[in-house]
Amino acid sequence: MILAANFKMNHTRASTKEYLRKLQECPKPKDLELFVFPPYTALDRYEGPAVIGAQNAYGAEQGSYTGEIGLQQLKEFGITTLILGHSERRHLFGESQELIAQKFAFYKERGFTIFYCVGETLDIREKGDIQRYLLAQLEGIDLKYEGLIVAYEPVWAIGTGRSAKEEEIKEVLAFLQTLTSRPLLYGGSVKPQNIQTIMRIQGCSGALVGTASWRIESFCQMIQKMKEL
Binding residues for ligand PGA, rule: CB under 6 A, are 6, 153, 158-159, 187-190, 208-212
| Active-site entry in 18, 33, 153, 168 | 153
Cβ closer to ligand PGA: 60 or 192? 192
Contact between 50 and 20 (Cβ < 8 Å): yes
Pick the catalytic residue from 11, 86, 88, 120.
Answer: 86
CA distance 181 to 91: 27
SS3 call for 173? helix
Residue sitting closest to ligand PGA (CB):
210
The nearest distance, CB 8 to ligand PGA, in angstroms, is: 7
Measured from the CB atom, the residue of 205 and 211 that comes closer to ligand PGA is: 211
Decide if 86 is catalytic.
yes
Give the shortest CB-67-to-ligand PGA separation in angstroms: 21
Of 42 and 209, the one with the shorter C-beta distance to ligand PGA is 209
- Neighbouring residues of 215: CB distance < 8 A, sequence distance ≥ 6: none
CA 73 distance to own-chain centroid: 20
Active site residues: 86, 153
